[in-house]
Amino acid sequence: MRPLIITLCCLLSAFSLHAQGGYLLLSGKVIDKVTQKPVPHAYVGMMTKGTGTLTNDDGQFFYRFPRIAADSAVVVAMMGYQPFRQKASAYQLNQKDVIIELQPAQPRVVDSSYIKTFEARNWVSDALGKIKKNNPQVPYLLSGFYRESLQQNGEYAEIREAVLQTEKDPRPKILIPEKVKAIRGRTYASESRSKALEGYAFPNGATIVTHSVDVGIPEYLDGKNLYDYVYELDDSILYYLDKQVYRILFRPVNAGIKAARTGMICINAADTAIVRIEYDFTSEGVKDVMKTSTSDKVFGKTKREPKRLYTCINYKPFGGKWYLQDYRMLLDTQFEQKNTQVLGTIKLQFVTTEIQKSNGNRIPETDILIDTESFSQQSVPKYDEVIWGNFNFIIPTESMRLIVNTLVK
């Protein structure tokens, strides 16, 4: 363990720490120490302060925090890796593009006999029953970064981004348990977008990806729905923040289950808290969901065939409770118009960057975000981050930045 500590301490001197008013910046890249490949969606922040961000698909991150918090520990965490911790005051000024190597945590392998006797469904049921204990039950406000994108045949055709606030009130008898407000936002729309993809969007995407177990059990696991699935312990137990995490695999009991999913629920062994839910809809499940969609904007009138619908939700600890860390969703659909086929991919993502207390009324009903079409459209061929000010955001990948070459003028 000592060589790892020495390595990480040496890396500290290479961090970018740049003062802007009362804020300091950290920027760089997180990679796997063994494979040297980028680690996407890793948390970077101060868990004791409830602030942070995530690495992008290329492992890059940008984290801004108040100068007053410089004596707090910065944590880089990802399930399956040993966490990195160090006081922010140890960083040096004006150094950029650091490479942080995360050491994989050796999983605990379990034998098949133990798996057979493990009551996986009971573990899931216990975790669902402890949501009120493990997740906050008082009003709170999450600030975060939202991005929705549309790709056609792998190239970005539209990107909408925003700083959002979502207010949650888990108390019973609250008529509006979740509210979403846009602080600022923008849209990049390519002029090369195929007509086959017209109307292909989730106008309520921001609402979808800010929802979490904090305010209730997922409907597909609630009540009798829990028995629609077969549960089994995975043959390896991972680690998150040095704690064991059980991975419970689930699949539908039969092909007749509506909107069926196949996936995994990760449960923290120490407190039975849900730390991740990840799943794909089955091929029939995708069709069930798309058939029941009430929004004509999802598909329009072009011939289409949904291929994949994927969801991943992660939670992080703060103040003895677990809060939404990030929510990602992906939808692949094959379109056909006049004998021309186009693969349309929608990606939705919300990343919590700050957790604050609330009285349940910090977002007035008049400010609730209806859809993301109101975000201002960018026509200048430049992809910068000045618009976000002191808010944290997710760095766009190089493939995203290429959209500025095809903007609608």
Q: What is the CATH number of the domain that holds 72?
A: 2.60.40.1120
- Digit-coded pLDDT (tens) for 73-95: 999 999 999 999 988 887 765 45
Model confidence at 21: pLDDT above 70: no
Instruction: Tell me if 336 is assigned to some domain.
Output: yes
What is the tally of structural domains in the chain?
2
Model confidence at 57: pLDDT above 90: yes
Model confidence band, residue 301 (pLDDT cutoffs 50, 70, 90):
low
Instruction: Tell me if 382 is assigned to some domain.
Output: yes
Instruction: Tell me if 199 is assigned to some domain.
Output: yes
Is the domain of 140 the same as that of 26? Answer: no
The residue from 102, 117, 152 where one domain ends is 102
Is the domain of 92 the same as that of 168? Answer: no
Is the domain of 86 the same as that of 147? Answer: no
pTM for the whole structure: 0.91
Which residue range is the domain that position 165 belongs to? Answer: 132-406
The 3-class secondary structure across the chain, one letter per residue, is: CHHHHHHHHHHHCCCCCCCECCEEEEEEEEEECCCCCECCCCEEEECCCCEEEECCCCCEEEEEEEHHHCCCEEEEECCCECCEEEEHHHCCCCCCCEEEEECECCCEECCHHHHHHCCHHHHHHHHHHCHHHHCCCCCEEEEEEEEEEEEECCEEEEEEEEEEEEEECCCCCCCCCEEEEEEEEEEEEECCCCHHHCCCCCCCHHHHCCCCHHHCCCHHHCHHHHHHEEEEECCEEEEECCEEEEEEEEEECCCCCCCCEEEEEEEECCCCCEEEEEEEECHHHHHHHHHCCCCHHHCCCCEEEEEEEEEEEEEEEECCEEEEEEEEEEEEEEEEECCEEEEEEEEEEEEEEEEEECCCCCCCHHHCCCCCCCCEECCCCCCCCHHHCCCCCCCCCHHHHHHHHHECC
- Digit-coded pLDDT (tens) for 206-228: 999 999 998 789 999 999 999 99
Is the domain of 313 the same as that of 253? Answer: yes
Instruction: Tell me if 114 is assigned to some domain.
Output: no
The residue from 102, 122, 152 where one domain ends is 102
For the chain, the average pLDDT equals 89
- Digit-coded pLDDT (tens) for 376-401: 999 877 899 999 999 999 999 999 99
- Digit-coded pLDDT (tens) for 305-358: 999 999 999 999 999 999 999 999 999 999 988 778 999 999 999 999 999 999
Instruction: Tell me if 119 is assigned to some domain.
Output: no
Is the domain of 146 the same as that of 263? Answer: yes
Instruction: Tell me if 124 is assigned to some domain.
Output: no
Instruction: Tell me if 32 is assigned to some domain.
Output: yes
Instruction: Tell me if 120 is assigned to some domain.
Output: no
